[in-house]
A and B are shown apart, each in its own frame.
Chain A
């Protein structure tokens, strides 16, 4: 073990030597490298550092998101990320910095997102990520509150008359690789005894293009994405999502295992948006609640008891900033998925428990 460490040191010195030689050899070209990397060198070589302090030192949050899912996360024509998931990234940034724009969205494919998070390259994943036991344990993730209750569904052409899994005997099904979707599909079709052809694509866009062009008879992913994508098919009315749910898909933010303070921040930012909706606080009227007598509201708005400090944030109005800049859950939902958008996705399970849904945020006290 000791010799190993020595070797390690020797290796470091040697690599420095060769690095210097190479740098000397290519001095004309070495300039750019140095310019590019010196800034990033600052936060290096620290012992165990909390995620919050890394984020604060960096001055912005790095959120692992999606660039290909309209409504949840995509790049608009101005080159900005927007969508439901991206808004939750912005909410966390608003709580920490008081500025929703202190954010870098790191778009990731389905397969690389966990690697990126565990390597420390991002701080949180908010990218239509399903909470599963093996991800929670094996992959060393912690899942925050579910922001969107979803289930894996199947979309088919109306004219095919498909209503159940059995009707899909011999069909081609488009699916994205590296997701639980791919495994669920295999499991459920095997259980139903249905033979099918899996047409596996590496990204979401290709999968839907293939379906739209008739390469596949069905396409499978989370139902919310099916709805979001249906509007973008050539003739949306020709397609139907069949009444079969292949799996439960609670989607929410995920963070690295082992940093409880960071986990708390993510949790309570999400809860605060639900609590705001519960109390009828919106981005428009939040100022009028500042003289409220309701202790629940006073605590949420940081007027009573320093709850922001409990999660490590010095900004005592951390939730006010979230509500002011992003709004409550309903506002975030409606802005990205609601009736005024092309998706017009019904809230369904994603309503407050008081409205027949299952959104139930624990109280702040």
Chain B
């Protein structure tokens, strides 16, 4: 490192002092030659121009009062305020589940774990939050930490499986909490999905869209790879059809025509569920193509070895091929989840109050007319935070586990 003698490069090597000082860095990366210097100056001017424009708008001309005033609407849509405790409970449980899973899977408190625990903590300092909200956020932090600590003492052998069951149980509990049970006057009255809105709905739509489409997508991918012509044709036709049309047309169809295809009185009346059907069917085709990529990445030898061991097609697919293929496509599926999360905004165009849909109603409210830039900028930032942090986290985990490098 300290000597440059062995470096097979024709470039002259800078003196040590210049290589490791700030000035040296600046010279090498910004002003190495005339062209580079020019580029640096243009880039600097550009950055200053854009930053000034944005900062001036954000801190001088923008009127942000609209965001705190409608914050609940943005977060949970028309979900009744008296039932908001259920949402908080969902979040506490999420914190606990994340804490427990983290301990069981990774076993150490570092990197992403710190970031995860920091999120609710940081949110406590949002200026317009009430003391109650801050307290609830603190409870979330406590719940997550408790989960993490307690999990260390649990005598669990098969940790992966335990986490899978835990997550499954959480999903069921979450849905029961959100949807409610019992009578209208009971302790947990039902809340129709149509009242779920805002960020809550955007996240739920993306999550259930990807989860529900997964089995269908895997079947389609296997179908497309199948040696049996009829099954292959059907899979190919489905996949190419869905991938060939815009999501918005499927959503419109789901809202306007789904009822026509089904017999009278079929219980698919809730239009959020209809949108979910359209999103699931849409997402399945893309999952199928991603999984197919994973299937193709598996070497022939694996199939042959499985066959040589006397496994049937069904057995080898289930025990040998699929586990490897799915493992290989995890990063791609995370990417698909992120793009599906962004695509859920389209439901706003069919009258569903997701994050974007609720933003549109806020602007239509006579008290807040003309606040387009503020509201849309806030929504854009929210979306950005979620999808960027998800893609960042998945990249980190990918690097760590070496998934996708096989």
Contacts and interface: CB of A to CB of B under 8 A. Distances in A.
- Asked if chains A and B are in direct contact (CB within 8 A), the reply is yes
A26 B214 CA distance: 8
Contacts of A232: 366, 369-370
A40 B370 contact: no
B267 A46 contact: no
A46 B214 contact: no
Interface in B44-88: 69-70, 72-73, 77-79, 81
Nearest to A205: B364
A204 B364 contact: yes
Given A32-B208, A79-B73, A121-B259, A44 B267 contact: yes
Interface string A205-232: 1000100100000000000000000011
A31 interface: yes
A4 interface: no
A32 B264 CA distance: 23
A40 B179 contact: no
A232 B369 CA distance: 6
Nearest to B71: A77
A177 interface: no
A12 B261 CA distance: 12
Interface in B244-275: 255-256, 259-260, 263-271, 273
Contacts, number: 121
Contact of B271 (A25, A76, A121, A231): A121
Given A76-B365, A77-B69, A121-B269, A33 B370 contact: no
B256 A67 contact: no
A356 interface: no
B273 A37 contact: yes
Interface residues of A, number: 52
B356 to A, nearest CB: 13
Contacts of A203: 360
B168 interface: yes
Of A22, A26, A32, A232, most buried by chain B (CB within 10 Å of CB) is: A32
Bin chain B's interface residue count.
Answer: 35 or more
Interface stretch (B4-12, B119-127, B186-194): B186-194
B215 A205 contact: no
Interface in B209-241: 211-212, 214-216, 219
A26 B217 CA distance: 11
A33 B73 CA distance: 25
Given A29-B212, A29-B214, A104-B194, A115 B256 contact: yes
Contact of A37 (B78, B268, B367): B268
Contacts of A45: 264-265
A75 B360 CA distance: 10
Nearest to A80: B78
Interface string B335-350: 0000000000000011
Contact of A41 (B73, B219, B267): B267
Contacts of A106: 194, 271
- Which secondary structure dominates where chain B touches chain A? helix
Of B79, B184, B259, B267, most buried by chain A (CB within 10 Å of CB) is: B267
Contact of A40 (B72, B269, B372): B269
Given A37-B268, A45-B265, A107 B190 contact: no
Given A26-B212, A74-B361, A40 B265 contact: no
A294 interface: no
B91 to A, nearest CB: 18
Interface in B352-387: 353, 360-367, 369-370, 372
A76 to B, nearest CB: 7
A168 B97 CA distance: 64
B351 interface: yes
A315 interface: no
B62 to A, nearest CB: 16
A109 B266 contact: no
B175 interface: yes
B171 interface: yes
Contact of A25 (B197, B215, B273): B215
Of B73, B214, B215, most buried by chain A (CB within 10 Å of CB) is: B215
A198 interface: no
A36 B267 CA distance: 10
Interface in A106-157: 106-109, 112, 115, 119-121
Contact of B172 (A31, A44, A68): A31
A57 interface: no
A79 B77 contact: yes
B70 A32 contact: no
A35 interface: yes
A297 B273 CA distance: 47
A28 interface: yes
Contacts of A342: 366
Given A22-B216, A45-B264, A205-B360, 15 more contacts: A12-B263, A29-B208, A32-B208, A36-B175, A36-B193, A40-B268, A44-B265, A45-B265, A68-B361, A70-B366, A79-B78, A112-B255, A121-B269, A205-B363, A232-B366
Interface of A: 12, 22, 25-26, 28-29, 31-33, 35-37, 39-41, 43-46, 59, 67-71, 74-80, 104, 106-109, 112, 115, 119-121, 202-205, 209, 212, 231-232, 234, 342
